[in-house]
């Protein structure tokens, strides 16, 4: 399977702490994206990082990409209760089907 894999599967931290999630993938990518899903709802796009980029920021979010290791990380700083959600990485491969391939997600719980 070319599916990306998030690590850890679940993460619980205290409000105010930083949360880090990782994503690994298998083949050459065009870009990698992170999405958030609140329980049972639609996915919301967070950040897109292209294969020639190494780091990207958006508010309290920081995404890094290491194409040599085929991995990415999502850092959420100063977490809030509202950050409780599942986070998915999605990879757009350079070749093959015109689609995004989603991982199985990291379930993040912020403890107030």
Partner 1 sequence: EAQVTQNPRYLITVTGKKLTVTCSQNMNHEYMSWYRQDPGLGLRQIYYSMNVEVTDKGDVPEGYKVSRKEKRNFPLILESPSPNQTSLYFCASSLGRRNAKETQYFGPGTRLLVL
* Residue 4 beta carbon to partner 1: minimum distance, rounded to whole angstroms: 9
* Residue 78 beta carbon to partner 1: minimum distance, rounded to whole angstroms: 25
- Of 19 and 89, which CB lies nearer to partner 1 in the complex structure? 89
- Of 80 and 99, which CB lies nearer to partner 1 in the complex structure? 99
- Of 48 and 75, which CB lies nearer to partner 1 in the complex structure? 48
* Residue 102 beta carbon to partner 1: minimum distance, rounded to whole angstroms: 4
- Of 49 and 110, which CB lies nearer to partner 1 in the complex structure? 49
Question: Which among 14, 50, 32, 15 is positioned nearest to 87, based on CA atoms?
Answer: 32
Question: Which among 63, 72, 51, 69 is positioned nearest to 6, based on CA atoms?
Answer: 72
β partners of residue 26: none
* Residue 16 beta carbon to partner 1: minimum distance, rounded to whole angstroms: 29
Residues engaged in binding partner 1 (CB under 8 A)? 3, 30-31, 33, 35, 40-45, 48, 88, 90, 92, 97-100, 102-105
């Amino acid at each position: 399977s070319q599916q990306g894999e998030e690590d850890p599967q679940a993460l619980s931290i205290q409000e105010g702490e930083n949360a880090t999630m990782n994503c690994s993938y298998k083949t050459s990518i065009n870009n990698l994206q992170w999405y958030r899903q609140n329980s049972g709802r639609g996915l919301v796009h967070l950040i897109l990082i292209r294969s020639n980029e190494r780091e990207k920021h958006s508010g309290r979010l920081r995404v890094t990409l290491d194409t040599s290791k085929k991995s990415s990380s999502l850092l959420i700083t100063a977490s809030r209760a509202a950050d409780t959600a599942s986070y998915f990485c999605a990879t757009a491969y350079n070749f093959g089907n015109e689609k995004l391939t989603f991982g199985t997600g990291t379930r993040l719980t912020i403890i107030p």
